[in-house]
Amino acid sequence: MDIHELAHHLDFANHHPNATARDIQTLCDHVIKYGFHAAFVNPIHVALAKKTLGKSGVAGTAISFPIGQDRVDIKITAALKAIEDGADELDIVPNTASLLSDPKGTSYLEEMVQIVRAIRQTNAVTIIKFIIETGYLTSPLIQTAARLIHDSGADYVKFATGRGPKGATLEDLALIKEVVGPDMKIKVAGGVDTYQEAVDFINAGVTRIGTSHAIEIIQNLPSTSSNQHNSE
C-alpha cells in the first residue's frame, strides 16, 4: 500500500483537553502536507480547523465524547453548532448505558434516529458516525449496537473512542462486519499506532482510521512501500 492510499484512510486527530489553537493549526498543516483524509478536533476548534484547512479540506469533530451521556437535545444542539462552524463529519457517542439497560436497544436506537433526523434536516451531506464503546459490551451487544447504528441511517459504524477499556480489535471488526454487511462503512480508533496495524485494519475492510499517530504511521512505511512511492 503506497503512502497516498494509506494517508487517505487516516483521520489525524487531536482530542486532548490541552489542545491549543496553535496545536490545531499544526494538526491541519500536517493534514494538508501528508494528504490525510481529515483533521478531527474538539468542537471548540472546528471553525479554526475549517479555516486553516480551506474550503476543500475535511474538518471533523466528536460529539458527546467520550462518555455519550449528554441528553439527546444537547447532543443535537452540539452537532448542529458544529455543522454551523464548518464540520463536515461528526463522530457521535450514543449512550452505552441505555444499551446495557435494555439489550434490545430501543432507546439506544431512538436517540440515534433523533440525531440523524435533526442533522439531515439541516445538512444532508454531513457524514454521521456513531461510536460503539466496545470495551463495555459483550460480543452479542456489540453486534446489536452495530445493527442499530446501521438501522439509524448513519453513514458509518465506528469503534471505539480510544478512551474506554479497550481500543479497536480485528476480532470486534469481524463481529461488526457480520452484522452490517459489506456496504456499511466502518471507522476504527484507539490503539492503531503503527503502519502494520493500520494496513491490517484496511485490508480487513475498514474505510477510515482515527489516530493521533498518523505521522508516525506514514513515516514508518516499510522500505518496499517507500521505494514504490519514491518511484512514482
Residue 99 three-state SS: helix
185 is catalytic: no
% helix, strand, coil for the chain, step of 5: 50, 15, 30
Query: What grid cell was written down for 36?
Result: 490525510
Please give the Cα distance from 189 to 143 (Å, whole number).
17
Residue 133 three-state SS: coil
Which residue in 75, 88, 158, 172 is the catalytic one?
158
Q: Which of the 8 DSSP states describes residue 17? A: T
187 is catalytic: yes
Which residue in 11, 91, 155, 172 is the catalytic one?
91
91 is catalytic: yes
For the chain, list the strands marked E by DSSP. 10-14, 38-41, 59-63, 89-92, 127-132, 156-159, 185-189, 208-211
Which residue in 50, 75, 129, 187 is the catalytic one?
187
Residue 26 three-state SS: helix
Residues that are catalytic: 91, 158, 187
